[in-house]
Amino acid sequence: MTDTLHLIAHVGGCGVMFNTDRVASVVELDRAVPAPGAGPAVIGLAAMRSRVATVLDVRQLLGVPPRPTGDGAIGHAVATMVDGHLYAIAVDMLEDVEAVEIAPRPPGMGGASDAAWDFVSGVAERGQETLLALDIDRLVARAGAIE
């Protein structure tokens, strides 16, 4: 595959990448207002530049430890648009934008629930770390489907 520009971030110690074509911005969010009836991957709603964004926590999807409950601050997030709606995907750390060569997602990723990992479009190796290339459309759809 060819090199493409990706924003590299970490969620719960897991290295992830977002195609820069799909990143509207990176933001710092103080808090989110809970959204009654929303799935567990939805932290809540937050105001971003005069718009309301649905704030997502994708830790459960990635199989990493839950978000610390602490003071309720969100911190870093990757803002993106999906079907005309604004989303902010909470991340622990933002690194940089890099040209990364993406390899296909290995078969069997996610074990018996391989289909549940359809939001991972590929992987890349960087030093000693494996980075997951996330398909934003599938990630948002899967985050809404968690029960």
Whether the per-residue pLDDT at 21 is higher than 70: the answer is yes
Q: Are strands 14-19 and 25-29 parallel, antiparallel or unpaired?
A: unpaired
How many angstroms separate the Cα of 22 from the Cα of each of 13, 46, 78, 81, 137? 22, 20, 10, 7, 9
Distance CA 48, CA 131 (A): 28
Whether the per-residue pLDDT at 108 is higher than 80: the answer is no
What percent of the chain stands above pLDDT 70? 89
Specify the CATH number for 3-145; select among 2.40.110.10, 3.50.50.60, 2.40.50.180, 3.40.1360.10. 2.40.50.180
Q: Which pLDDT belongs to residue 2? A: 59
Whether the CB-CB separation of 79 and 24 falls below 8 Å is answered with yes
Give the mean model confidence (pLDDT) for residues 49-55.
91
Domain borders along the chain are 3-145
